[in-house]
């Protein structure tokens, strides 16, 4: 069996089972391009190591590619197509030391003001309108950067004030309501979009009308942070993914100030953010200001029966969950 045939059949099986498998398909195509269409049994550990070490990558990326190839060869070993798995030694996992940053409201204001000061040297740069609206979107919804970049025009229904987020960890779409302030900001953005030629179905686009890419977006955001003089205390570079923790901490802090019932609100917040369970949301409690520690220690878990969409009162609450108050503050 040729390597190309093995890859095609393996990817087809994955997609038949219901997976999109886009990342895996791209990885195998890159591996095939470097190895050539050799016989599957002729692929050696050196072929795999050459592919994995072809360019400098983060340790976690190296391990992720390694595991995908390991599963691929294990699949064909079990079926007798090859005698043994041709894999080099795995790298040891590195301890992750990244600590999420919580932007202050003043930092968010500075980033929004600085968006219009970015120099647009290239046609494929991220426009000020896109950068500003994307920051507001991340800050007001707690969506991940991946979900926001993958957002399609058809996923946004401003008339109803809802957006559908699709690219999450579980790959299950969820539709969330947005606050009126964010809706108005997105209406202005759509007016800007209507005056430019759009060459894709993505909602957030670059100056040339093409879809945003994570690499160019991160590069432009780092430039924006330097322009707006926004830094972290630990000197690590600020990241767009930190708006998710900022959204959560600002929401929890606001509820604590008003004496709200967190036993009821935290499960709703977990639903809104697409968390699989409440424990994923509770990790943000340790990031709230220390003066609220006494209130946090009083929290107890809550059990709900039935589907959350069937709770009309909860759905009304969710429609106002995005940080409308904070959004008004940063827009002032």
| pLDDT in the model for residue 301 | 39
The 3-state secondary structure of the chain reads CEHHHHHHHHHHHHHHCCCCCHHHHHHHHHHHHHHCCCEHHHCCHHHHHHHHCCCCCCHHHHHHHHHHHHHHHHHHHHCCCCCCCCCCCCCCCCCCCCCCCCCCHHHHHHHHHHHHHCCCCCCCCCCHHHHHHHHHHHHHHCCCHHHHHCCEHHHEECCCCEEEECCCCCCCCEEEECCHHHHHHHHHHHHHHHCCCCCCCECCECCCCCECCHHHHHHHHHHHHHHHCCCCCCCCCCCCCHHHHHHHHHHHHHHHHCCCCHHHHHHHHHHHHCCCCHHHHHHHHHHCCHHHHHHHCCCCCCCCCCCHHHCHHHHHHHHCCCCHHHHHHHHC
**pLDDT: which is higher, 48 or 207:** 48
**Average of pLDDT values for 59-81?**
92
pLDDT score of 261 more than 80? no
Tokens of 109: 């204001």
**pLDDT: which is higher, 247 or 166:** 247
**pLDDT: which is higher, 96 or 293:** 96
pLDDT score of 44 more than 90? yes
Going by C-alpha positions, the residue among 242, 269, 274, 275 that lies closest to residue 256 is: 269
Please give the share of the chain, as a percent, with pLDDT higher than 70: 78
pLDDT score of 328 more than 90? no
- Give the model confidence (pLDDT) of 144-195 as tens digits: 999 999 999 999 999 999 999 986 555 578 888 999 999 999 999 999 999 8
pTM above 0.75, yes or no: no
pLDDT score of 111 more than 60? yes
Q: Indicate the pLDDT class of residue 199, thresholds 50, 70 and 90.
A: confident
pLDDT score of 213 more than 90? no
**Average of pLDDT values for 297-307?**
43
pLDDT score of 124 more than 90? no
pLDDT score of 297 more than 50? no
pLDDT score of 204 more than 90? yes
As to burial, measured by CB atoms within 10 angstroms (0-12 exposed, 13-18 middle, 19+ buried), residue 314 is middle
What is the CA angle 20-21-23, rounded to 5?
125
Going by C-alpha positions, the residue among 1, 84, 76 that lies closest to residue 45 is: 84
Tokens of 113: 């003001």
**Average of pLDDT values for 253-275?**
78
**Average of pLDDT values for 265-276?**
77
Q: Long-range contacts for 23-30 (Cβ within 8 Å, ≥24 apart)?
A: 24/68, 27/65, 27/68, 27/69, 28/68, 28/72
pLDDT score of 78 more than 80? yes
pLDDT score of 308 more than 50? no
State how far the Cα of 225 lies from the Cα of 84, in Å rounded to an integer: 50
Q: Which of 31-35, 211-215, 276-280 has the lowest mean pLDDT?
A: 276-280
**Average of pLDDT values for 121-134?**
81
**Average of pLDDT values for 241-263?**
84
| pLDDT in the model for residue 19 | 81
pLDDT score of 329 more than 90? no
Mean pLDDT of the chain: 81
């Amino acid at each position: 069996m040729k390597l190309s045939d093995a890859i095609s059949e393996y990817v087809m099986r994955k997609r038949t089972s219901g997976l999109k498998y886009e990342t895996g398909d791209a990885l195998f195509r890159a591996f095939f391009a470097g190895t050539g269409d050799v016989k599957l049994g002729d692929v050696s550990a050196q072929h795999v190591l050459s592919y994995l070490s072809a360019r400098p990558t983060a340790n976690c990326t190296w391990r992720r590619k390694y595991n995908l190839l390991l599963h691929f060869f294990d699949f064909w070993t079990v079926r007798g197509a090859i005698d043994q798995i041709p894999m080099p030694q795995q790298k040891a996992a590195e301890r992750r030391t990244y600590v999420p940053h919580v932007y202050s409201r003043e930092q968010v204001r500075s980033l929004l003001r600085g968006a219009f000061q970015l120099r647009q040297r290239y046609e494929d740069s991220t426009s000020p309108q896109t950068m500003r609206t994307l920051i507001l979107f991340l800050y007001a919804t707690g969506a991940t950067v991946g979900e926001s970049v993958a957002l399609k025009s058809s996923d946004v229904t401003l008339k109803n004030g809802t957006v559908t987020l699709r690219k999450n960890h579980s790959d299950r779409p969820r539709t969330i309501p947005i606050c009126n302030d964010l809706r108005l900001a997105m209406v202005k953005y759509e007016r800007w979009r209507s005056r430019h030629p759009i060459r894709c179905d993505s909602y957030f686009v670059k100056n040339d009308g093409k879809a945003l890419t994570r690499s160019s977006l991160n590069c432009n955001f780092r430039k924006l942070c330097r322009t707006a003089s926004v830094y972290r205390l630990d000197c690590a570079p600020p990241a767009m993914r930190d708006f998710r923790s900022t959204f959560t901490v600002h929401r929890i802090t606001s509820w604590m100030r008003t004496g709200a019932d967190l036993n009821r609100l935290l499960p709703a917040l977990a639903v809104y953010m697409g968390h699989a369970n409440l424990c994923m949301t509770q990790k943000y409690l340790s990031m709230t200001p220390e003066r609220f520690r006494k209130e946090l220690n009083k929290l107890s878990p809550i059990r709900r029966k039935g589907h959350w969409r069937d709770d009309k009162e909860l759905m009304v609450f969710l429609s106002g969950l995005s940080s409308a108050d904070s959004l008004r503050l940063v827009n002032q």
